[in-house]
Amino acid sequence: MVVTDTFSRFARRMSSTQGFPYVVIAETPNPIRQLEPEALRPRAEAMIQTVIDGLTLPPAEIQARMKDVVEQIHPQGVARSTIPV
């Protein structure tokens, strides 16, 4: 998944409610809306290895690399349904 940093936590929580808690998220600084192609290219190049990893690494390796996102997937003190409403 490719998102701007503003939406990365939302993307992580939404993907976890859909059964993909360890989806690989490539993020870039917000905003990108009015950037020219020459400004977007370095951002895309900075994310390309993350995209490649998300498409090629085995699920166990992806999960092992994401120990730090567990708090985003299951925030402490937040009770919520496992089914999107």
Count of the separate structural domains present in the chain: 1
| Mean pLDDT in order along the chain per 10 residues (85 residues) | 91 86 90 92 95 93 80 61 55
Q: What is the pLDDT of residue 57?
A: 94
Give Cβ neighbours of residue 44 (< 8 Å, ≥ 6 apart).
28
- At 70 the pLDDT is 66
> Residue 74: its pLDDT value, please?
61
pLDDT given at position 73 = 65
The residues that bridge with 4 in the sheet, in sequence order, are 28
Is 56 a domain residue? Answer: yes
Q: What 3-state DSSP class applies to 70?
A: helix
Q: If we measure between CA atoms, which residue out of 68, 82, 72, 24 comes closest to residue 48?
A: 24
- Residue 80 belongs to a domain: no
pLDDT at position 66: 82
Peptide bond into 31 cis (omega under 30): yes
On whether residue 79 sits in a domain, the answer given is no
Q: Helix or strand or coil: residue 2? A: strand
Helix locations, 1-85, DSSP H: 8-17, 37-56, 59-65, 70-73
